[in-house]
Amino acid sequence: MNIALLFEDDFIDDDTAVVTDRRLKHLQQIRDIKLGDQIGVGQADGLLGDATVVELDSESATLKIIWNKQPPAPLPVTLIIALPRPKMVKRIIQTIATMGVKELYFINTYKVEKSFWQSPWLTEAKLLENIILGLEQAMDTRLPKIHLRKRFKPFVEDELTGISKDSLRLVAHPSDSQDCPIQVKQQTTLVIGPEGGFIPYEIEKLEACGFTPVSLGDRILRTETAVPVLLAKLF
Amino acid sequence: MNIALLFEDDFIDDDTAVVTDRRLKHLQQIRDIKLGDQIGVGQADGLLGDATVVELDSESATLKIIWNKQPPAPLPVTLIIALPRPKMVKRIIQTIATMGVKELYFINTYKVEKSFWQSPWLTEAKLLENIILGLEQAMDTRLPKIHLRKRFKPFVEDELTGISKDSLRLVAHPSDSQDCPIQVKQQTTLVIGPEGGFIPYEIEKLEACGFTPVSLGDRILRTETAVPVLLAKLF
């Protein structure tokens, strides 16, 4: 937690906030804050600031804040990922939030196991919890939007053209593809398949929608590794 | 598990192996193999091959192998990482093994908590277990070497010059550094600091040893994310 991210309910007025819950616990137990200490804060979807601890007890910390900095620039990418197994979801959410992705779609594909959609990590509360952890790590304030799409064909046929309009359209797909481009720095829509990959029908549907298959080489990466690797190469 | 990695004890002769343990369980429960099926295999520090299941029961699978392919090229990098908290060690080992790192040093620094060195993930057996999982994911056979160095000063003063000889020497360090170079493709020694970063004394020692501080931008990444991001940018 490199900043504490603050939400509307935390504020008494524009530059005073009262922090409780996980954030207070972290500040007291890990950071060992004292009255008068300075800590970094951010306002959800707003500015970054420096806060002074003006009141402190075991229940809450009151922060007086000077807002002074824009959050870091987002990555110009919309990420579309075949829903991975539940234990990976948590880490992927934190990673994409830390790296600056602001639009993420989890989609169904032939090789996504149906049970994955029952994952407790996909509830709104759990998604938000891991988004916040990722943003606090990166000192970012802008919350990414996460969309769940449980049917592949309607998503590709009805939504994907609109989502990917005027962007570079890439699908990570190992076999015989061209190398993933480097440092493209333009608006990009990036699709990442499931363990076991897309089936040919799915690749055909994506190609028909303007997507080019690209590869990261011979080594097959887990989704949780492929995400930071692809983002690091592209931006 | 995209291949089953085989060790000396698994072989009956040069092209016949008997698989038991976790690998058998995976082949039966996840892959649902049957007599006559083909699976990918690799020989530890040797070739890749195609294996046919010639005998199969609940205790073991006997594989007849045709060796036919070199493992993928290693990354030209020696990685030196301030020992992260225990739960990250497992994932970092798997990641570096999957991505093709063959030399990894975990080192002590001022901000590494002493208790981290007691982690059960640092035992030889646990390190090997996670190396194998990483290699099987990448379809690689060459085992990385992992070195533990519990004292920073002797490591930097007595070993680091030799380890990093004739290589590009970089230390990932956020503040005011130049951007991390892209696609260097030359032999590189890369140092990654702890949560909270290196202290100035440590950066000075590394600079004195020829290391240049480089940055990934404003966003502070966890070690487990910084590792794949840095490797993806450099190679």
pLDDT tens-digit profile of A156-195? 999 999 999 999 999 999 877 899 999 998 999 999 999 8
Q: Which of A23, A52, A69 is the last residue of a domain?
A: A69
Residue for token pair 């892959």 = B31
Find the closest chain A residue to B216 by CA distance.
Answer: A232
Give start and end residues of each alpha helix (H) in chain B. 21-25, 86-99, 124-138, 152-154, 160-164, 200-208, 223-234
Residues A52 and A96 in one domain: no
Is any Cβ of chain B less than 8 angstroms from the Cβ of A163? no
| CB pair distance less than 8 Å for B72 and A221 | no
SS3 B178: strand
| CB pair distance less than 8 Å for B222 and A2 | no
Q: Which CATH number covers residue B164?
A: 3.40.1280.10
Q: What angle do CA B69, B74, B203 make, to 5 degrees?
A: 175
Specify whether the CB–CB gap between A53 and A61 falls below 8 A.
yes
Nearest Cβ partner for A183 among B182, B222, B229:
B182
Residues A92 and A183 in one domain: yes
Q: Which of A69, A87, A115 is the last residue of a domain?
A: A69
The conformational region for residue A21 under phi > 0 = left, psi -120 to 50 = alpha, else beta, is left
Distance CA B21, CA B13 (A): 19
SS3 A208: helix
Give A58-75 pLDDT, tens digit per residue.
999 999 999 999 999 999
Q: Which of residues 123-142 of A touch B (CB under 8 A)?
A: 137-140
Range of the domain at B155: 77-234
Residues B62 and B95 in one domain: no
Count how many domains chain A has: 2
* Residue A216 in tokens: 């990261």
Q: Which of A16, A39, A69 is the last residue of a domain?
A: A69
Distance CA A39, CA A34 (A): 10
Residues B211 and B150 in one domain: yes
Q: What's CA A166's distance to the chain center, in Å?
A: 22
- The count of other CB atoms within 10 Å of the CB of residue B24 is 19
Residues A15 and A130 in one domain: no
Residues B168 and B65 in one domain: no
Torsions phi, psi for A203 (to 5 deg):
-60, -40
Q: Which CATH number covers residue B38?
A: 2.40.240.20
Residues A143 and A90 in one domain: yes
Q: pLDDT tens, position by position, for chain B (235 residues)?
A: 899 999 999 999 999 999 999 999 999 998 899 999 999 999 999 999 999 999 999 999 999 999 999 999 999 999 999 999 998 999 999 999 999 999 999 999 999 999 999 999 999 999 999 999 999 999 999 999 999 999 999 999 999 999 999 999 999 998 778 999 999 989 999 999 998 899 999 999 999 999 999 999 989 999 999 999 999 999 9
Bridge partners, B13 (sequence order): B16
Contacts of residues B50-59 at CB distance under 8 Å and 24 or more positions apart, as own/partner, are: B51/B4, B51/B17, B58/B28, B59/B20, B59/B24
Between B196 and A5, residue with greater pLDDT: A5
Q: Give the closest-approach CA distance of B71 to chain A in angstroms.
A: 9
Find the closest chain B residue to A70 by CA distance.
Answer: B218
Angle, helices B223-234 vs A86-99, to 10°: value is 70
- The count of other CB atoms within 10 Å of the CB of residue B8 is 9
* Residue A118 in tokens: 């029952």
Q: What angle do CA A204, A207, A213 make, to 5 degrees?
A: 100
Pairing of strands B103-107, A61-69: unpaired
Q: Give the closest-approach CA distance of B3 to chain A in angstroms.
A: 11
- Residues of B within 8 A of A138 (CB-CB) are 218-221
SS3 B79: strand
Burial B58-84 (b: 16+ CB within 10 A, else e): eeebbbebebeeebbeebbbbbbbbbb
Residues A87 and A159 in one domain: yes
Is any Cβ of chain A less than 8 angstroms from the Cβ of B218? yes
Residues B109 and B221 in one domain: yes
Residues B91 and B177 in one domain: yes
Residues B98 and B132 in one domain: yes
Distance CA B199, CA B40 (A): 46
Q: How far is the CA of B24 from the CAs of B1, B28, B63, in angstroms? A: 11, 6, 11
Contacts of residues A155-162 at CB distance under 8 Å and 24 or more positions apart, as own/partner, are: A155/A105, A155/A107, A155/A108, A156/A205, A156/A206, A156/A209, A157/A205, A160/A80, A160/A206, A160/A209, A161/A209, A161/A210
Residues A44 and A94 in one domain: no
